[in-house]
Amino acid sequence: MDKLSAAKRRILDFTKYEMLNKALEAFGELGDDEELGPVDWPTVKRYISCLNDIEGERVHPHGALESDSNLDPMNLKDIRVRHLNGVQAAYWEMLDEGRISQTTANILMLSVEEAIDLASSEPLCDWRGLKANVHFPNYYKFLQSSIFPPKLITYFTVERLESACYICAAFLRAHRIARQQLHDFIGDSDVASAVINESVVEGEEARKFLEDVNLTYPQVLRVVKTRQATYAVLNHLIEYVQNLEKAGILEEKEMLQLHDAVQTDLKKLLRNPPLVKLPKISNIHPMLGALPSSVSESLSTSTKETMKLRGLTLYKEGAKSNGIWLISNGVVKWKSKMVSTKHSFYPTFTHGSTLGLYEVLTGRPYICDVITDSVIFCIFLEAEKIRSCLKSDPSTEKFLWEVWLH
């Protein structure tokens, strides 16, 4: 006890009072025994010696109100560490529940350890250790080069998105659980409120990332949630049949047969988890489905499905128009030296957009820069192939102009 800091001693004394309250609550919930009759609290309390040394009135561990500019540094550090310990405990629980993999758990745990080391000098900063595992590293831009097959690029990009979604979702959930537990224990306190606010701020970037993915690649979030939900349901079924056996309703042989059946499904889930299904070429863009079948078949042989990372340029203003881009998923933005985008009605383009069509039809250079504003899934159609289709079927040009006008 003498080795504890003043902040920890206050928490310890506060906890003892809370233990006494919990003991009274538990006793009150027992009520009179139907078979044995009543019992009184003083008699029970005599056998709970750990609560006998509580003296004086209950004192809140943070004492008098503190202003934001005059919060006790030791109290701040102590509550930050307790909050981060709660976050880490939530990660362990998520690992047991199958919400996250061991690899993801290791990344999350390490970020907490690093933040604990800085708890005395900085606000909560465990998100800092996760950023590199959420954002795409520079070497992914190297994957965009033409030497790699588009399907390989798509596979690695989707896998990275899935991993980032698991990290962000676990981070937000763990902080939310830890904040609630901290508030339930400490109650209203300037120190606790300051740390809770730090936690909310820490989650802003993770929340924004998931919102962006939900906007551009909702199928990734659906797959992540489907995996988690399926794992949780199967584990619940295992627990259910085990409880039936403990209650004597099922015999052991019956329980084992049902248990093995559920375990088989669990193994199948781990071996072949639900995968992100990107749309087929015919469903990627409305323009492709609306083209005459002969033209559509001709163009399909030269289409290039690809994924592009955020911040990459699809084409530059003044460059030769060598093809059009059909956006299936994601967001792109445009800018021009000649035209201001500040007051534009459409500063960005999303799903279903057709880019570069005007330039290809007129043979002019591209009239603006187009840059990806998120990870995008798109198709590139070569200009020469489009012009060849126009020669073989002149009515296609009228159709394409109508697409551009709309």
At 67-101, the pLDDT tens digits run 454 677 888 998 999 999 999 999 999 999 889 99
Residue bearing tokens 């955020």: 310
Q: Are residues 265 and 309 in the same domain?
A: no
Q: Are residues 232 and 304 in the same domain?
A: no
> What pLDDT is stored for residue 340 in this prediction?
60
- CA distance linking residue 110 with residue 132, whole number of Å: 13
Structure tokens at 49: 């010696």
Q: pTM for the full model?
A: 0.76
Q: Are residues 180 and 263 in the same domain?
A: no
> What pLDDT is stored for residue 194 in this prediction?
92
Which residues lie below 8 Å from residue 324, measured CB to CB, with a gap of 6+? Answer: 354, 355, 356, 357, 360, 380, 381, 383, 386
Q: Confirm whether 237 is domain-assigned.
A: yes
Q: Confirm whether 202 is domain-assigned.
A: yes
Q: Are residues 235 and 160 in the same domain?
A: no
* Alpha helix ranges (H) inside 31-72: 41-45
Closest to 331 measured CA to CA, from 359, 371, 360: 371
Q: Are residues 78 and 173 in the same domain?
A: yes
> What pLDDT is stored for residue 53 in this prediction?
73
Q: Are residues 243 and 317 in the same domain?
A: no
Q: Confirm whether 178 is domain-assigned.
A: yes
Q: Are residues 194 and 225 in the same domain?
A: no
> What pLDDT is stored for residue 141 in this prediction?
61
Q: Are residues 73 and 183 in the same domain?
A: yes
Last residue within a domain, chosen from 185, 200, 216: 216
Whether the CB-CB separation of 403 and 354 falls below 8 Å is answered with yes
Q: Are residues 66 and 185 in the same domain?
A: yes
Q: Based on the structure, what is the number of domains in the chain?
A: 4
> What pLDDT is stored for residue 173 in this prediction?
97
Q: What is the CATH number of the domain that holds 362?
A: 2.60.120.10
Last residue within a domain, chosen from 237, 252, 271: 271
Q: Are residues 88 and 162 in the same domain?
A: yes
Starting at the edge strand found earlier in the chain, the sheet holding 323-329 runs: 304-308, 376-382, 323-329, 354-355
> What pLDDT is stored for residue 20 in this prediction?
81
**330-365: per-residue pLDDT in tens?**
889 998 887 665 555 567 888 778 899 899 989 999
> What pLDDT is stored for residue 166 in this prediction?
96
Q: Are residues 172 and 267 in the same domain?
A: no
Weakly modelled stretches of the chain, pLDDT under 50: 1, 65, 67, 69
Q: Are residues 88 and 99 in the same domain?
A: yes
- CA distance linking residue 212 with residue 298, whole number of Å: 35
The H or E element that residue 177 is part of is helix 150-186
> What pLDDT is stored for residue 18 in this prediction?
81
Residue 202 φ/ψ region, left for φ over 0, alpha for ψ in the -120 to 50 degree band, beta for the rest: alpha
298: how many CB neighbours lie within 10 A of its CB?
18
Q: Confirm whether 193 is domain-assigned.
A: yes
Which residues lie below 8 Å from residue 377, measured CB to CB, with a gap of 6+? Answer: 154, 217, 278, 284, 305, 306, 307, 328, 329, 330
Q: Confirm whether 276 is domain-assigned.
A: no
Domain residues for 314?
Answer: 281-405
